[in-house]
Structures are given as structure tokens and as C-alpha cells.
Amino acid sequence: IFKDYVNGFPKESDMPFNSSATVHLKLPDDSNAVLLKNLYLSCDPYMRARMNKTEGSYFEPFTPGSTILGLGVSKVVDSGNSNFKKGDLVWGGTGWEEYSIINAPQFLFKIQDTDVPLSYYTGILGMPGMTAYYGFYEICAPKKGEYVFVSAASGAVGQLVGQFAKLTGCYVVGSAGTKEKVDLLKNKFGFDEAFNYKEEQDLDAALKKYFPEGIDIYFENVGGKMLEAVLLNMRENGRISVCGLISQYNLVEEEGVKNFFCVITKRLLLKGFIIIDHFNLYPKYLEMVMPLIKEGKICYIEDIVEGLENAPSALIGLFSGKNVGKQVVVVARE
């Protein structure tokens, strides 16, 4: 349950667990809804924005006292909607609960291919995968040989951006917050170089070391000091895909960005996006990524915790870098 609006870092006590709810596993005969059994839930940084009272954001705030909403993989248990039938596997908008009634299933996709881990539909085959695909290919228009930098590079989105960049023939460097993550970037995902940004006193100097000729493409996941250092190191006509600013999400007031004049002098393109606007490209993305997964040309790391009661701590962990790869919560396996 979402207890109340949050100031600063969320705590587990902001998301108390209610074990007393009852479930009717049959919808009323006149219902148009879909009844879901939730299997895997996705922990995503944007959920923090829904804990603010702020009106006018691209997502409605959560309602205090109500179930937390998010994305997940579920099984249809009953359906009054002609697009879904009992037994279908779906991914999309659901609740942080064992069973959910979805009255308006606009953001629910039927899962066609079950030849891959089902949890992948919270990650590489779901919203984060689409985010990496759109933000990298559509916004950055990468070319072979270009210099690419990715922040929060080992996460749900970043690990894919790096691998897409390698498949395009780019030189790729990633930053992450632990040695374990840096090792993953270099040894598992095939980044050319990686560094722990928490150990660098001078981010500008670190970027100069890894990009002596500058950066063509920056895939922005974090904002703050990293963005300031990146702006100094961009090449002329570079592109910045502004995907996320996680370093700012728990601040009461967003910090300003220094070095912004570089956008003019270096003729940079900065483009922000909200991935839900671009799901018309989802079939095209699946067509590209599914063979890459099945042929082993791309890999995907998940951080899986068991049990709905552990979802709050898993979500909070995103903001201190506790997760290694895509953070998934298992509610039930079938």
C-alpha cells in the first residue's frame, strides 16, 4: 500500500504490506475487466515520481492508502474483455498485489513468445528494453566507429544501450557504482571500458582519459555532476539522449546544471523522451531483439528477489545502487 506522499528518499515504511485483503477469483458476469494473477513485478525508478504530490507530471501520483501500481508479468485468471482470455500471459500495467483487477487494460500486451524467461518482459522485452532501443537508435542515430558513453550502465536500460552500441560497431564506455558492476560491464556486456564513478574525484579527468577525442553520444541516465562533466567532453554535433536523471529524483529541489553553454558551442542535440509515447515501435523492437537473445548475441542480467513483501526494499534499493541489473520481484512463478 502507498502510505502517503514522500519527501526525500523513500523508506520501507512508506509502503506497508497488507495481508488481510480477500480475493474473488471470478469477475461479475457483466464485467469488462481483466483479472490477473501477478507473477513478476518490475521495480522502476520512475515510480519515485509517482510518490510526489506534484500535479501535471506525465504520470498521476499514487493515491495514499491505495495499492502501488507498476509494470509486471501476469496470467489472466478471468476476463470480461474480448482481447484477453483465461490462461493468457500478459505484461504491462498492474498492481503490487497477488491479484489485480484491471478495468481499462490499454497498457497490457499479450505475450506471444514464451521461449525466453518470462521475467524478461519486465526488462529486455518490456519497457526498459524499448527505452534502450528508442533512446539509442531513434534519438542518437548512432554510426559505426562513434564514441558512446552510458551512465548507470549496468542497470535495466544501460546494459542494453551498451550492447546495442557494440553491435553497431561503436566504442563504448560505461559508468557504474561498484567494482562488481564495472567488471560486469567489461567482461559480460562487452563494453570497451568502464569505471566506478564513486571512486573518481574528478569526473571530467576520468572522461578525458577514456575519451581523449571526446564523446559523440551520451546516453543520460543520471544527471547531476555526471552531466556537467559530460558536457565538457562532448564532440561537436554530439547527441545526448536524456532518458533519466536518477541522481535528482529524491532531492526536494532539482539541482541546476553547469556547463550548459557547451550545448551551443558544440552544437549538441539533447532530446528527452517518455517511452510510453513510442510503443508503436514495440513490434519492430521485438523483431530485432528476439533473435539477438536466442542467438546469444545479447545477454541480460536480472536481480531477482522473492516475495511481494520484499518489493518495497527492492524498489528503494534502486536509489542506492543495490540492484545488479534489472530489479525484478517474484510474486508467483506460475
Q: Does 155 bind ligand NDP (CB under 6 A)?
A: yes
DSSP annotation of 204 reads H
Site for ligand NDP in 45-74 (CB under 6 A): 45-46
Binding to ligand NDP by CB under 6 A, coded x per residue (else -) over 269-308, reads: ----xxx---------------------------------
Rounded to the nearest whole angstrom, what is the least distance from the CB of residue 250 to ligand NDP in the complex? 8
Cα 233 from Cα 207, distance rounded (Å): 7
- Give the closest residue to 101 by CA, choosing from 41, 29, 31: 31
Q: Which is nearer to ligand NDP, 88 or 255 (CB)?
A: 255
Total site size for ligand NDP, rule CB under 6 A: 30
Rounded to the nearest whole angstrom, what is the least distance from the CB of residue 92 to ligand NDP in the complex? 14
Binding to ligand NDP by CB under 6 A, coded x per residue (else -) over 164-203, reads: ------------xxx--x----------------------
Q: Which is nearer to ligand NDP, 45 or 70 (CB)?
A: 45
Rounded to the nearest whole angstrom, what is the least distance from the CB of residue 89 to ligand NDP in the complex? 22
Residues β-bridged to residue 94 = 70
Segment contacting ligand NDP (CB under 6 A): 137-145, 150-158, 203-211, 290-298?
A: 150-158
Cell numbers found for residue 97: 498485489
Q: Does 156 bind ligand NDP (CB under 6 A)?
A: yes
Q: Does 139 bind ligand NDP (CB under 6 A)?
A: no
Cell numbers found for residue 293: 537473445
Name the residue with cell 574528478: 202
Assess contact for 221 and 193: CB atoms under 8 A.
no
Could you please report the per-residue DSSP string of 4-29? S---SS--GGGS---------SS--T
Assess contact for 82 and 51: CB atoms under 8 A.
no
Hey, how many other C-beta atoms are within 10 angstroms of the C-beta on 208? 14
Q: Does 244 bind ligand NDP (CB under 6 A)?
A: yes
Task: Give how far Cα 17 sits from Cα of 32, 35, 68, 96, 238, Å.
Answer: 29, 21, 11, 10, 47
Segment contacting ligand NDP (CB under 6 A): 24-32, 86-94, 105-113, 147-155?
A: 147-155
End-to-end Cα distance, the chain: 23
**Residue of the chain from 131, 163, 168, 233 that contacts ligand NDP (CB under 6 A):** 131
For ligand NDP, the binding residues (CB under 6 A) are 44-46, 128, 131, 152, 154-158, 176-178, 181, 221-222, 243-247, 273-275, 318-319, 321, 323, 326
